[in-house]
Amino acid sequence: MIDYHLHSVFSPDSTAKVEDILKKAKEKGIDHIIITDHFEVVKGEHNFKFDVEEYRRTMEKYCLPVGVELGWDGVTDISIDLENFDFVILSLHEFSKPVTQKSYKEYLERILNILTKFDSYHVLGHLDFPRRYSESFEPFSKNLYPILEEIFKLVIEKGKGIEVNTASMLKYGEPNPSYDLLKIYKKLGGEFITIGSDAHRIEDVGQNVEKVAQMLKEIGFGYIGVLKGEWNMLKIGC
């Protein structure tokens, strides 16, 4: 099993120690993990940062790839050298509330704008993220599919991937992005995916990762990206 989206004490919204994450991953039979703590480059109160050198030393101490979840608003100057990281999840955590289809559209348009000018990342994180905060967990309207297709095409053209994030499974039984959106990605030729629990607590490490991997197989994905010095494709179920 694989979990490529985990948060530790280097994120302000997590108290999980790295050694405890590793212990829990071993207990659950998770062979491949990358800790991806928040580094937010935004204007506002959620401008989370960590000491990059201390972070690198900690990950290297445990022989882990150095991962990061880069939250970027597309405007603020990025203050870190992303070459310091082996794995970068590009995420956008800002969206308008209350969450409506209009919020979804604005969110996707911002992501599309970011992708047209930035490619220092490996995977695009939890694409339909605002759905987690919708009162009824309403999925993205089909009217938004043309924007989604543009996003997926850019990701594919630049040789990047899509993160399949399992954190929303407990809320409404689907990952981010949803299975319908992943089918669009697949139809457009998308193959490169990673999978992660987005765990901020020890007990959530690996949560629903295996279940979602099997669903990915059912909708046509045969492999999940694994980083072993360089990217390899691990057959789902092996």
CATH number of the domain bearing residue 98: 3.20.20.140
Where is average pLDDT lowest: 47-56, 61-70, 159-168, 186-195?
A: 47-56
Q: State both tokens at 81.
A: 């050298």
Query: Tokens 């935004």 sit at which residue?
Result: 42
Please give the mean pLDDT across all residues of the chain. Answer: 95
The side-by-side arrangement of strands in the sheet containing 87-91 is 2-6, 32-41, 67-72, 87-91, 123-124, 161-165, 193-196
Q: Which phi and psi (to 5°) does residue 56 adopt?
A: -60, -45
**Tokens 């880069």 identify what position?**
70
Domain containing 186 equals 2-235
Distance CA 7, CA 98 (A): 27
- Distance CA(117)–CA(146), nearest Å, equals 19
Q: Is the pLDDT of residue 195 over 80?
A: yes
Q: What is the mean pLDDT of residues 17-23?
A: 98
CA distances to 21, 48, 139 from 176, rounded to whole Å, are 22, 22, 10
pLDDT of residue 5: 99
Percent pLDDT > 90 in the chain is 93
Count of domains observed in the chain:
1
pLDDT band at 45 (very low <50, low <70, confident <90, very high): low
pLDDT at 47 over 80: no
The pTM (predicted TM-score) of the whole model is 0.96
Confidence of residue 238 (pLDDT cuts 50, 70, 90): low
- Write the DSSP symbol of residue 176: B
